[in-house]
Structure 1
Amino acid sequence: MHATGGDPTPLTRSQAAAFERDGYLTVRQLAPPELVDSMRRVTRQHLTERRAPLELEAELGYPGAPSSTEAVGGDAIRRLRGAYGRHPVFRRWVHYPPLTACLRALLGDGPVLMPRAHHNCIMTKLPRFSSDSLWHQDLRYWRYARGELVTAWLALGREHAGNGGLQLIPGTHRQNLAAWRFDEARFLRLDLTENDALVAQRVSVELEAGDVLFFHSRLLHAATRNAGPDPKLAAVFTFRRHDDEPLPGSRSEAGGDVTILPG
């Protein structure tokens, strides 16, 4: 489902209903060009400076990643972590009224919080040394009472299948998928015929700079490596209702939250 931003209340009830049905919603040009340009400029500076905290492709070890940090391309950065605290421009985006209006429409009444532990990063997909993200739900490592979180994926440049743009399986956020359909790392098993019908329903998302993809934390999604010549960059933050609380003792709880919208 697609919508167009540009005003403080960009989502209609029907668009919110489409998100509930499909598990995702694309809002075109939600972020203004000058804000996107500023985020992109800061991101490139931090990549050049290798400003910590970082996550390397080789550390995660997904298919296509360098085999170790000592291998060719082993220093390729996958994520700039802790984006909210990196620079005021990212905080400006997270509190940007058209974005928070979308979050209100998707998450409902009551306080809305941004977990610091999950996403809160700049996703980078560099040419030559990026990797494939297999089919998964973000909740595989997150621990919340209900697990009804919403991620806002802001493209800082063009995203498409050729440079590792996201693929989604609509409606899977509402399917109760049995544990045996996933491997030990909780990626969807592609050796099972039972999963073939799911994967056949996949859609590829194409984004331009300033577009935002909202998607549910239970939605199955994947992405290939970047086969293009230029880095792919996206600012990614996740949000939750105040009453969808992290489980005690979990990393989700330990990271803390930022209040985005009051009750």
Structure 2
Amino acid sequence: MKLSKEQLSQFNSNGFLILRNFADKDLCDNILEKAKEHLKRKEAPIESEQEYMNVDEEKITVRRLRQVYDREQIFQDWMTNKEIRPILKQILNDTPVLTLAHHNSIMTKLPHESTRTYWHQDRRYWNFKNDDLVSIWLSLGDEYLENGLLEFIPASHKINFSKDRFDSSSNFLDENSENQELIKTKTSQNLQKGDVVLFHCKTLHHASKNQSDDAKISFVYTVRAKSNTPIKDTRSDYKEVILD
């Protein structure tokens, strides 16, 4: 499968693109079943909501299952899916490489316990020669604003922001007047099981807390162009998989 010229133009212009009904529903259900097993056990490595709230509590609310590539074969199968490779090659204009240092994750928004994910760019997680990385977000169920749907700021991947528009954690400052004007341009589209969102690592995005009664669980991984090599001795200088 390849993107049409219009789809490729949309991604390049907006910094994100939705592929409807891309993944098989049974595959999504099987991934979700395994993810719930790991979530129930709170199996490390994980990220917790408590880390983001800067509180020291015994209670742990899982925000992200990390390093999922090595957890289950079905996770590996999705991350190395052959049907999406031509699309990633189009976007990157190079052979895609699966980077496993970060965004090798099952993402959760647990009901009533999740926190807001602030506006940010995913470039903060990476140390590569350039910032041309693409994340692949798989919806494992319905996603909408009330349960923490991703919202994007179109074309924000093309803007060179000054450092004072972010806080010390690289979150886009809500109180900054320039930021407030840009945030007004935000957009979102509800997602269903099997939908995939591709987004550039410089595209600003956020998600509200989950106010529904059911968990929202998604799968995300990231690829780089083969020519975009990691900076030596950084966290990105880690195990990778070439998707020829």
Deviation at 1:141, TM superposition (A): 3.1
Deviation at 1:154, TM superposition (A): 0.1
TM-score normalised to structure 1 length: 0.89
Give the SS at the match of 1:184: coil
Aligned to 1:163: 147
The yes-or-no answer on 1:144 pairing with 2:128 is: yes
Selected match of 2:236 from 230, 248, 252:
252
Give the SS at the match of 2:84: helix
Q: Is the 8 A contact 1:94 1:100 kept in 2?
A: no
Deviating beyond 3 angstroms after TM superposition, the runs of 4 or more aligned structure 1 residues are none
Q: Is the 8 A contact 1:59 1:69 kept in 2?
A: no
Aligned to 2:13: 21
Aligned to 2:41: 49
Alignment partners' CA distance in 2, 1:259 and 1:103? 12
Alignment partners' CA distance in 1, 2:211 and 2:87? 32
Alignment partners' CA distance in 2, 1:258 and 1:58? 32
Give the letter aligned to residue 53 of structure 1.
P
Deviation at 1:223, TM superposition (A): 0.7
Moved more, 139-148 or 118-127: 139-148
Q: Is the 8 A contact 2:67 2:102 kept in 1?
A: no
Selected match of 1:126 from 110, 125, 130:
110
The yes-or-no answer on 1:95 pairing with 2:80 is: yes
Give the letter aligned to residue 162 of structure 1.
E
Aligned to 1:5: none
Give the SS at the match of 2:65: strand
| Unaligned 5+ runs, structure 2 | none
Selected match of 1:241 from 211, 222, 225:
225
Aligned to 1:176: 160
Q: What are the Cα deviations for residues 102-157 of structure 1, in whole angstroms up to 9, with x where unaligned?
A: 21221123x31111111101001101211111111001231111110000000001
CA 1:50–1:196 in 2, change beyond 3 Å: closer, same or farther?
A: closer
TM-score normalised to structure 2 length: 0.96
Alignment partners' CA distance in 1, 2:81 and 2:233? 32
Alignment partners' CA distance in 2, 1:56 and 1:250? 23
Give the letter aligned to residue 213 of structure 1.
V
Moved more, 99-108 or 235-244: 99-108
What count of residue pairs does the alignment treat as equivalent? Answer: 244
The yes-or-no answer on 1:38 pairing with 2:38 is: no
Give the SS at the match of 2:202: coil
Alignment partners' CA distance in 2, 1:248 and 1:92? 28
Alignment partners' CA distance in 2, 1:180 and 1:60? 21
Deviation at 1:10, TM superposition (A): 4.2
Alignment partners' CA distance in 1, 2:28 and 2:169? 34
Give the SS at the match of 2:13: helix
Moved more, 138-147 or 32-41: 138-147
> What are the equivalent positions in structure 2 for 1:51-66 lying under 5 Å apart?
51-61=43-53
Moved more, 171-180 or 98-107: 98-107
Give the SS at the match of 1:251: coil
Alignment partners' CA distance in 2, 1:116 and 1:127? 28
Deviation at 1:175, TM superposition (A): 0.7
Percent identity, aligned pairs only, is 35
